[in-house]
C-alpha cells in the first residue's frame, strides 16, 4: 500500500503554497485590525501579489505532472493501491488544482485587487450610508464573479460554480427544497411568537456596560471553551472574524458596544467556535487539504453550535450568569437567571443579520441568497439592489430599513466577491443542531457538564469527530459519519419549535 511518504514531492510544494497564503492571511488580518486607513491601496497590491504567486505555483506544469502521475484525470481519483489519507489528499488537491487551473493568473490578480478596493469603498459607503458610493465597485466585482462562474463551469446555474467554492458539492437544486422547508415552518412560527401573550423585555441588555469588563468576560468564556491563548489572540475589528495562519496561531476578533451586551459576548463565543475548529486541525498536515477545514458550512456549524446550542442555553448560564452578575453587579441587580435567559433569546424581526435571533436569522439568509442568485444569473442588476433588498425585508420580516447602512450595505461579503457564501450560514445552523444532538447522545452528562461550566468534553468530542479530520472526507460523507445522515432541516426546526414553544408558551 502506497502512503503519504511517496507524495512528499507534492506535499512539499503544497506546503510552500500554504505558507504564501498564510502570509496573505496575516496581511488581511492586519488590514481589518490595525492597518492605518492610508495603507489601503498598497495593501491591495501586496495581497494581489501574494495571491498571484500562490495561484501560479498551484497551477504550475510541475504540479500538473506530479498529479498526473498519481491521479486519473478523468475521474479525479487515485488508484486503490494508495492508503486512505493519500487518496483523500490526492482527491482534494486535484479538486483545488483543477478549479485553479480554470482561472487565468491575470484574472486571479485582478479579482484580488478589485475586491480589496471594493472592500475599502464599501467601508466608506456604509459609514455614510450611501449605496451610490459602493455601486461602481460592486458592478466591477459582480462582473468578475460572473466571469469566474463561466471559467469554472457549471451544469444548471452559474451560481452553482460559486457555491461550490465554499461548500463543495452544494447546488441550487439541493438548497432550494431545503430553504423551502425552512420557510414553510419558520414563517408561521414567527407569527405564533409575535401573537403570543408572553412579551420579553431585553432592555436589561442595553444599559451601559464597561468596554474592558465586556472584553474580560468574553476572554473568560473563550478560556472555558478551551480556546488556547498560547496559540491565539483576541483583538477588535469592525466585524468580528476568525483567521488562521497555522493551528498554532489562530486569531479571533470581536467588537464592543457599551450599550449592547450581547454583541461582544456572542461574537466572542461564535468566533471562539470557529477558532476551536482551526486550533483542532491536525498540525502535521498543515499545508495539505488534510490540514484544512472541510467546508464553510461545517466551519459555521462550529461557531453556531457554541453560540446558540451552548451559549444561548439555560444550562450554560446556570454556571456563567453568577459570574456575569459579579462582573456587572449594578446593571444586573434583581434580574433572575430566567429573565436573563429570556432576554438573550427574545425573538424580534430586526434589520441586522449578525444580531438576529435564531428564529429570524435564516430568513435574513434566504433573502440574500435569492438576491445574489438573481444577480449572478443575470435576472437582477446591481443598481436595483436597495429596492430589491427593502422589498424582500418587508416580505420576509415585515420591516423596511430606513437607511442602506442598516439594509443592503450591512454585510461585507459582496464587496469581497463572496457571492455564494451566504448559504453556508444556513447550512451551518442546520449542521450545528445535528451535531449537538449527536453529542448529547454520545456524552450522556453533557447538559450537567455545561451547567457546571465544564465545556472541555464537548470541545474534545468535536475535535475527535470533526476538527482533526480536515478534508479527509467530503462534507456530506463527514456529516454521515458523525450523525448517520446528511444535512437536514428537521432537527433544527424541532429544536426551535421546542425552545420558543417553552419561552413563549405556544
Ligand atoms: Zn461565523
Tens digits of residue pLDDT in 234-279: 999 988 999 999 999 999 999 999 999 999 999 999 999 999 999 9
pLDDT over 90 at 322, yes or no: yes
pLDDT over 90 at 362, yes or no: yes
The mean pLDDT value of the chain amounts to 96
* Sequence-ordered strand ranges (E) for 207-306: 232-236, 242-246, 249-254
The two beta strands, 232-236 and 249-254, are parallel
Q: Are 265 and 340 a contacting pair, CB within 8 Å?
A: no
Domain boundaries, the chain: 4-153, 172-196+203-503
Beta pairing partners, 234: 252
What is the three-class DSSP state of 454? coil
Q: How far is the centre of ligand 1, averaged over its atoms, from the C-alpha of 69 (Å)?
A: 38
Query: What average pLDDT does this structure show over 320-338?
Result: 97
Extract the C-alpha cell encoding 434. 445535528
CA distance 312 to 266: 9
- φ/ψ region of 259 (left if φ > 0, alpha if ψ in -120 to 50, else beta) reads alpha
- pLDDT tens per residue across span 166-201: 999 999 999 999 999 999 999 999 999 999 999 999
pLDDT over 90 at 76, yes or no: no
Give Cβ neighbours of residue 242 (< 8 Å, ≥ 6 apart): 250, 251, 252, 253, 271, 274, 275, 278, 303
- Ion ligand 1 contact residues with beta carbon within 5 A: 300, 303
Percent of the chain with pLDDT over 70: 100
Instruction: Determine which helix (DSSP H) or strand (DSSP E) holds 5, and give its type and residue range.
Output: none
pLDDT over 90 at 9, yes or no: yes
CA distance 60 to 274: 32
Q: How far is the centre of ligand 1, averaged over its atoms, from the C-alpha of 303 (Å)?
A: 6
- pLDDT tens per residue across span 87-136: 999 999 999 999 999 999 899 889 988 998 898 899 999 999 999 999 99
Give Cβ neighbours of residue 158 (< 8 Å, ≥ 6 apart): 146, 149, 150, 376, 377
pLDDT of residue 337: 98
pLDDT of residue 314: 97
The catalytically annotated residue of 92, 148, 167, 271 is 271
pLDDT over 90 at 308, yes or no: yes
pLDDT of residue 116: 85
pLDDT of residue 80: 85
Q: How far is the centre of ligand 1, averaged over its atoms, from the C-alpha of 272 (Å)?
A: 9
- pLDDT tens per residue across span 445-466: 999 999 999 999 999 999 999 9
Q: How far is the centre of ligand 1, averaged over its atoms, from the C-alpha of 195 (Å)?
A: 31
pLDDT of residue 242: 97
CA distance 70 to 75: 12
Instruction: Determine which helix (DSSP H) or strand (DSSP E) holds 483, and give its type and residue range.
Output: helix 475-483
pLDDT of residue 105: 87
CA atoms within 13 A on the CB side of 302: 30
C-alpha distances in Å from residue 115, one per residue of 138, 166, 175, 241, 310: 9, 17, 27, 18, 35
Specify the pTM.
0.95
Q: Is 271 a catalytic residue?
A: yes
pLDDT of residue 149: 98
Percent of the chain with pLDDT over 90: 93
Extract the C-alpha cell encoding 368. 440574500
Cite the DSSP H helix spans in 39-78: 40-58, 61-70
What are all long-range contacts of 51-55, with beta carbons under 8 Å and residues at least 24 apart?
A: 51/24, 51/108, 51/109, 51/112, 52/105, 52/108, 52/109, 52/112, 53/20, 54/17, 54/20, 54/21, 54/24, 55/100, 55/103, 55/105, 55/108, 55/109
Q: By C-alpha distance, which of 198, 223, 239, 183 is closest to 359?
A: 183
Q: Give the pLDDT band of residue 37 (cuts 50, 70, 90).
A: confident
pLDDT of residue 79: 84
Q: How far is the centre of ligand 1, averaged over its atoms, from the C-alpha of 428 (Å)?
A: 9
Extract the C-alpha cell encoding 312. 444561548
pLDDT of residue 389: 97
Query: What average pLDDT does this structure show over 57-65?
Result: 95
Q: Give the pLDDT band of residue 205 (cuts 50, 70, 90).
A: very high
Q: Where does 172-196+203-503 sit in CATH, by number?
A: 1.10.1370.30
DSSP state of 405: G
Residue 479 CA to chain centroid, in angstroms? 17
Q: How far is the centre of ligand 1, averaged over its atoms, from the C-alpha of 270 (Å)?
A: 6
Q: Give the pLDDT band of residue 75 (cuts 50, 70, 90).
A: confident
Q: How far is the centre of ligand 1, averaged over its atoms, from the C-alpha of 242 (Å)?
A: 8
Amino acid at each position: 500500500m502506497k502512503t503519504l511518504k511517496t507524495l512528499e514531492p507534492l506535499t512539499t510544494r503544497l506546503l510552500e503554497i500554504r505558507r504564501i497564503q498564510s502570509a496573505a492571511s496575516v496581511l488581511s488580518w492586519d488590514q481589518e485590525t490595525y492597518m492605518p486607513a492610508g495603507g489601503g491601496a498598497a495593501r491591495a497590491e501586496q495581497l494581489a501579489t501574494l495571491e498571484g504567486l500562490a495561484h501560479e505555483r498551484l497551477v504550475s506544469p510541475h504540479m500538473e505532472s506530479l498529479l498526473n502521475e498519481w491521479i486519473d484525470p478523468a475521474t479525479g481519483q487515485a488508484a486503490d493501491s494508495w492508503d486512505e489519507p493519500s487518496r483523500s489528499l490526492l482527491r482534494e488537491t486535484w479538486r483545488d488544482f483543477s478549479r485553479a487551473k480554470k482561472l487565468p493568473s491575470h484574472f486571479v490578480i485582478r479579482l484580488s485587487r478589485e475586491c480589496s478596493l471594493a472592500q475599502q469603498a464599501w467601508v466608506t459607503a456604509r459609514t455614510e450610508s450611501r449605496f451610490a458610493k459602493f455601486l461602481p465597485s460592486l458592478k466591477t466585482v459582480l462582473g468578475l464573479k460572473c466571469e469566474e462562474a463561466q471559467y469554472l463551469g457549471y451544469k444548471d446555474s452559474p451560481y452553482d460554480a460559486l457555491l461550490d467554492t465554499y461548500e463543495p458539492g452544494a447546488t441550487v437544486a439541493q438548497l432550494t427544497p431545503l430553504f423551502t422547508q425552512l420557510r414553510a415552518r419558520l414563517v408561521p412560527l414567527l407569527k405564533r411568537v409575535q401573537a403570543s401573550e408572553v412579551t420579553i423585555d431585553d432592555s436589561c441588555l442595553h444599559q451601559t456596560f464597561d468596554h474592558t469588563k465586556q472584553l474580560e468576560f468574553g476572554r473568560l468564556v473563550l478560556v472555558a471553551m478551551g480556546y488556547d491563548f498560547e496559540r491565539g489572540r483576541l483583538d477588535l475589528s469592525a466585524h468580528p472574524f476568525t483567521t488562521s495562519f497555522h493551528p498554532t496561531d489562530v486569531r479571533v476578533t470581536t467588537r464592543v458596544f457599551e450599550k449592547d451586551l450581547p454583541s461582544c459576548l456572542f461574537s466572542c463565543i461564535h468566533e471562539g467556535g470557529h477558532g476551536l475548529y482551526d486550533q483542532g486541525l491536525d498540525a502535521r498536515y498543515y499545508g495539505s487539504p488534510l490540514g484544512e477545514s472541510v467546508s464553510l458550512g461545517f466551519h459555521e456549524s462550529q461557531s453556531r453550535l457554541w453560540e446558540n446550542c451552548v451559549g444561548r442555553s439555560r444550562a450554560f448560564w446556570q454556571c456563567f450568569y453568577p459570574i456575569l452578575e459579579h462582573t456587572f453587579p449594578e446593571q444586573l441587580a434583581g434580574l433572575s437567571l430566567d429573565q436573563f435567559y429570556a432576554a438573550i433569546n427574545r425573538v424580534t424581526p430586526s434589520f441586522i443579520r449578525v444580531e438576529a435571533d435564531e428564529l429570524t436569522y435564516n430568513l435574513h439568509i434566504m433573502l440574500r441568497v435569492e438576491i445574489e442568485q438573481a444577480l449572478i444569473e443575470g435576472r437582477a442588476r446591481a443598481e436595483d439592489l436597495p429596492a430589491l433588498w427593502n422589498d424582500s425585508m418587508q416580505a420576509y420580516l415585515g420591516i423596511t430599513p430606513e437607511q442602506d447602512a442598516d439594509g443592503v450595505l450591512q454585510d461585507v461579503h459582496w464587496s469581497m466577491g463572496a457571492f455564494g457564501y451566504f448559504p453556508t450560514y444556513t447550512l451551518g445552523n442546520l449542521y450545528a443542531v445535528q451535531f449537538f444532538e449527536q453529542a448529547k447522545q454520545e456524552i450522556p452528562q453533557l447538559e450537567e457538564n455545561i451547567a457546571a461550566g465544564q465545556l472541555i468534553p464537548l470541545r474534545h468530542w468535536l475535535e475527535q469527530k470533526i476538527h482533526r479530520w480536515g478534508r479527509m472526507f467530503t462534507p456530506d460523507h463527514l456529516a454521515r459519519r458523525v450523525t448517520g445522515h446528511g444535512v437536514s432541516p428537521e432537527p433544527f426546526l424541532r429544536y426551535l419549535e421546542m425552545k420558543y414553544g417553552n419561552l413563549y408558551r405556544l
